[in-house]
Structure 1
Amino acid sequence: MFETVAGLPVHVLVVHAVVVFVPLLALLAVAYGVLPRWRDRLGWAVGVLAVVTPVVAWVATESGEAFENMLRDGGYPPEILSQVETHSGYGDLLFRATLGLAVAAVALLLVTSGRARARSLPSWLPVVLTVVVVALAVLAMAYVYLTGETGARAVWDGVA
């Protein structure tokens, strides 16, 4: 299911979406939390990214597993496969951080909505959720970097 499209590994195609969507979700969710005056403008984008980004990250993770199996079956050297395993581990953590960020972002959207304000939720709740969003955004960004760096090294070490 997640092996190739037009002869190219799906993983090679979809990782670029992850590299764009995760930082966008992180940046916009943090901005939504810390800049209340921008919430009306950012809410829809945060909501869309909170749904799409974990899906894209999951597809990248699953397609990466399929790609890793193709490499193993292709007889790649153990040192490259070791780098791929490290990359895969970071990718799994990236997916989890992205999913957590998306859930926290949606929760923040819900507690700052007009209906939630009408129910008079505790005033500290958006603040706590904003802190959680910021922490998860930093974590997701760190894993985007680590995942991308280890993946690039596995591909390009010794080539140039």
Structure 2
Amino acid sequence: MFDQVNGLPVHALVLHAAVIFVPLLALGAIVYALIGKWRPKIEWAVVLLAVAAPVSTFVAKESGEKLYDRLIGLGLSGKGKEILDDHMGFGSMTFWFSLALGIVTLILVFLNRRGGLPKIAEWVLAAAMVILAVLSGYYVFRTGDSGATAVWGQY
């Protein structure tokens, strides 16, 4: 399922969804967390991104693992393998941080729609969202950079 479509690696076809959705979720979550008056206006977009970003990173991660297995089977070793090993580690971190961000975002949106929550709880969730957004953004950048190095870099 995650290996190929018409002879093309699925990873090459889906990775750009994660590159788009994760930063958009990070930005939307930060705005939602910090600017209370905008929450009703961006709520629907943040909810959609809270689902789309982790799903896209999961598909990119799984398809990347299939591509990695195929490349190892073809004899990939040395510096190229090291770069891909780093890339896969960054991709896994991107998935976990975007999943955590998506969950915390959905929790805050759900609780706000139910009539709000104590200010301290709102601040804690908002702080968690900002921290997870920064980490998600960092890891999606590191994943993309290491992937670009693996494909286009000199090693």
TM-score (norm 1): 0.92
Letter in 1 for 2:46: V
Letter in 2 for 1:45: A
**Structure 1 unmatched runs, 5+:** none
Q: Name the % identity.
A: 43
Q: In the alignment, is residue 122 of structure 1 matched against residue 142 of structure 2?
A: no
Count of equivalent residues: 155
**Structure 2 unmatched runs, 5+:** none
Residues 17-43 of structure 1: CA deviation (Å, up to 9, x unaligned):
000000000001110111111111110
CA RMSD, Structure 1 to Structure 2 (Å): 1.2
What SS class does the counterpart of residue 2 from structure 2 fall into? coil
In the other structure, the counterpart of 2:109 is 109
Give runs of aligned pairs for residues 50-129 of structure 1, distance below 5 A: 50-113=50-113, 115-117=114-116, 121-129=117-125
Residues 115-142 of structure 1: CA deviation (Å, up to 9, x unaligned):
233xxx3222111111000000000000
What SS class does the counterpart of residue 2 from structure 1 fall into? coil
Give runs of aligned pairs for residues 6-45 of structure 1, distance below 5 A: 6-45=6-45
User: 1 CA distance for matches of 2:27 and 2:153?
Assistant: 31
User: 1 CA distance for matches of 2:131 and 2:40?
Assistant: 23
Instruction: Show structure 1 runs of 4+ deviating over 3 A.
Output: none
Letter in 2 for 1:154: A
What SS class does the counterpart of residue 70 from structure 1 fall into? helix
Letter in 1 for 2:149: R
User: 2 CA distance for matches of 1:125 and 1:96?
Assistant: 23
User: 1 CA distance for matches of 2:50 and 2:83?
Assistant: 30
2:140 to 128, 140, 144: 144
User: 1 CA distance for matches of 2:40 and 2:118?
Assistant: 21
In the other structure, the counterpart of 2:154 is 158
CA contact (8 A) 1:3 1:66 kept: yes
TM-score (norm 2): 0.95
User: 2 CA distance for matches of 1:71 and 1:116?
Assistant: 52
